[in-house]
Structure 1
């Protein structure tokens, strides 16, 4: 598109020319945004959805690095005519033209319902629509016009929100979060990252320190840049707008590929632990969440177990107990965050066809030097006998004895040669994989009755090779029932996975990583 210079309007300050989409792509050697000129779009304003057509695409160098769209709205929305800095970007009747950050727009065909009220999606967070005095011939001066635009965009640009936005927390939040064009948009094999980021930052607060730790002398030079992109372009828009476009995620992927030795981060399939290792360990240098009695420290714990043929439908708790029993490790302290990788190797091999996620994980018996209950009388335990595992109950608590019960139980010839207070931490999210595609189940709030949602960054698609993915968040109403005794009984009689509801099947058959944490346990750290 050729930008026409209008007759000069007197202005003492030198104006900076807007750049069209073709100019930006040529100068920056980048891809254009997913929206294109001519697209029918909708902007979710405080007063309801506003529809229009994109008439111009490009960037405003004096405003910021984000893609902007010149929109001809159907209804009056501002006071513009398509002129910016004395340049005619596009033609539109007065009051119908606005410059809007691309991230604040949805394709009209993707819009399926009413917008959230202003309490959930306020104009200061969601829209960042730059409507004030764009090309308004009645405004007092060109200088005032440009200052208004610049100031609003820097403070409220929907694609770069600088203020602190808390995680979602209420049932009302979930009501607006569910639907199409919600969550993080997938693009070019980004599902490993989309699902992980959505799970980490939509509802839980455990990873907030990653967004706020100041840069230190030991950090890489680009530390603040990565942190800023993560917080202002992904986490904050997710929480405020309930949507993050693929180009924002691509910005983070490009930075990670540039700063690390891992290739293919912008185009190839990766695993969540690869991404988390880069982000937590190499870039942001978070303290390891897991500290073992062996001296090892890590961000994850891989469940290594020998397959037990008697376990038809194992729970995460059972696999957790078995893994720690076999490893001879203990936890040196209560982990603020426990990321458990299920016993599966690669994208295909699964040790168990189904694994039941434990909504609460009892870590009492794997804490080093922690008080434990005798498995027989319930008094304070002083001894542990691994050979007694499973003989006086289930799980690792069956190995703990007081002196009296140890002597009595081991007086039996079968056990003659054998050389607590509960700490339950709740699960917060579960990452799943099926045929190289990652999705997430996320607990939406705190407490035992908190609802759960299912997120897929590529749930739907518009178009073929040149199309785009549409993310979706869905309420999973029956998750707790399927994990109850009644649900487990039905699972045991339903052998064919294809007979299970889709979300239930994906939860039980495709579990890849579970995250457990509780804010109440942070006091122990």
Structure 2
């Protein structure tokens, strides 16, 4: 189910994360952990490391996760002790040490040691201080692991249908769909955003940085990739911390948009390097399509709208990005510039990257000029406005183009030299990895389950079903989408242009094409050439 670890950043594999430290090898002030007699662990009432438990601390119930089980009392070798990482701090708790011995590493005042028989696996899925008792009734007692270390993205081997079904993905709760669909798209089947999980902290980070990163990595992404299920209380921990660490309010209760979540998590809390660097001097984590509506475009593609937006804004990408998040031209939850938009499976970014070599639209040789006034006159798309010198002169000898103002293209020397290895200028592409959609304030996503043209697609809804009413809980679901490539193909587009009433479309096709809110792209495994 898991792919190779080759794609995990090397610094992530080499860095020693706090939550991975189970010995005191880096701390001379504490002794080594006692060896465990594994025969003692055979009768532990199904409790094990990673089990979510309830314990009494000073006669008050506390919730947490077992991090270690073994013998501490050498006078009573049959007595098993559990080292528990509490969900909330307690003044008598430690950072993972007991009697000068380190058993695991956690935040100060969150480690509690108690007799294993006093631990009780709880019946409610929520286990932390961010919920009151009424909230706890909204969750079912479904195991949700806490997994340390690195876990590669899910790899689909064989039939996707076996992997799909209910209780798959991230469980929704309290208007969390904006976050559930975004996280599922970013991490389930791709490592495009994995640097967010592994950057070591620095002096400029906020106090919540390490805990936010740990929860994201160990309680959401790793369990999602290994078990294909994340309980909503894990996500609520993240939401609560983000309210403290960012300027976005209402993250735990209110309806939000994916870009607000990305601003809170990626920009303000994790302080990641911006995904996009623009020729205007601005940096960005996602790109909003700003375009004037073209009445001639009945069913535009993301490729057309992206090129139109860059042309009208007079900007380019400073460098080719490894990932690109594009927000569709719609505002609020109701206004849509176009009733349907076709996400582009393979996005050509050759003509929007500054200093990148381009080919002449006439002869196919290396272009040295660009004429924006020729857009739509000599062909389709931005590739139609690039010319070599002879073809530029010939095209602009026409009386309708004599007043055009072409500009000289700048080409980076390294890129110029690289073109000599090809008979034609290579194109640069990004592949579609996910589409986040919205309908009546509810976000869902279509996600590519792997890389390459043959990879299947699935539909994910964190609130697909519900058990119970006021005190019930939501049930997430993954559904295979075998027809996804057809709806994004030329053949599918040809059929869709003939459809006057979108209500006749299949449910998933309608949601994909009519409700697209955000498209996510990543660099394909191999450079593709036309």
Question: What's the TM-score bracket when you normalise by the shorter of the two chains?
Answer: 0.7 to 0.9
CA shift, 1:100, in A, is 9.1
Q: 1:63 is matched with which residue?
A: 84
2:154 to 153, 159, 168: 168
2:320 equivalent to 1:315: no
Deviation per CA, 1:32-83: give whole Å up to 9, x if none. 9xxxxxxxxxxxxxxxxxxxxxxxxxxx98422369xxxxxxxxxxxxxxxx
Distance 1:460 1:86 in 2: 36
Tell me the SS of whatever aligns to 2:445: strand
Which residue, 196, 200, 216 being the options, matches 2:202?
216
CA contact (8 A) 2:161 2:479 kept: no
Pick one of 235, 251, 258 that aligns with 2:244: 258
Superposition deviation, residue 241 in structure 1: 1.0
Counterpart residue number, 1:512: 517
Write the distance in 1 (CA, Å) between the matches of 2:217 and 2:373.
49
Q: Is residue 302 of structure 1 aligned with residue 307 of structure 2? A: no
d(CA) in 2 for partners of 1:502, 1:19: 50
* CA-CA distance at 1:262 after TM superposition: 2.1
Q: CA RMSD in A?
A: 3.0
1:72-122 C-alpha deviation (Å, 9 max, x unpaired): xxxxxxxxxxxx9386778xxxxxxx7899589xx9xx99xxxxxxxxxxx
**Greater length-normalized contact order (CA 8 Å, ≥ 6 residues apart):** 2
Q: Kindly provide the CA deviation profile for residues 394-433 of structure 1, in whole angstroms up to 9, marking residues without a partner as x.
A: 1001101111111111111111111143112111111111
Aligned counterparts of 1:422 and 1:306: Cα–Cα separation in 2: 27
User: Alignment length, in residue pairs?
Assistant: 405
Instruction: Please list every run of 5 or more consecutive structure 1 residues that lacks an aligned counterpart in the other structure.
Output: 1-15, 33-59, 68-83, 91-97, 112-125, 128-157
Residue 490 of structure 1 deviates from its aligned partner by: 1.7
Q: Where does 1:434-445 land on structure 2 (aligned, <5 Å)?
A: 434-445=439-450
TM-score by length of 1: 0.72
Three-state SS of the structure 1 residue aligned to 2:435 is: strand
SS of residue in 2 equivalent to 1:449? coil
- The answer to whether structure 1 residue 197 and structure 2 residue 190 are counterparts is no
* Residue matched to 1:280: 266
**Where in structure 2 are there 5+ consecutive unaligned residues?**
1-52, 65-80, 89-113, 128-136, 406-424
1:500-521 CA deviation, whole Å, 9 max, x = no partner?
1111100000001111111558
Work out the CA distance in 2 between the residues paired with 1:468 and 1:201: 24
CA spacing shift, 1:259–1:521, aligned 2, 3 Å: farther
3-state DSSP class of the match of 1:309? coil
Q: Could you report, residue by residue, the CA deviation over 1:282-307 in whole angstroms, capped at 9, with x for unpaired residues?
A: 11111001011111110111111110
Cα-to-partner distance string for 1:197-249 (whole Å, 9 max, x where unaligned) = 11111001011111111111111122111100101110111111110011000
Equivalent residue in structure 1 for 2:325, among 339, 342, 353:
339
For 2:224, which of 238, 242, 246 is the aligned residue?
238
Name the SS of the counterpart of 1:515 in structure 2: strand
Matched, 1:470 2:456: no
Residue 18 of structure 1 corresponds to which residue in structure 2? 55
* TM-score, length of structure 2 as denominator length: 0.72
- Given the superposition, is the C-alpha separation of residues 477 and 385 from structure 1 closer, same or farther in structure 2, using an over 3 Å criterion? same
**Cα offset, 1:23, TM superposition:** 4.0
Q: 1:349 maps to what in 2?
A: 335
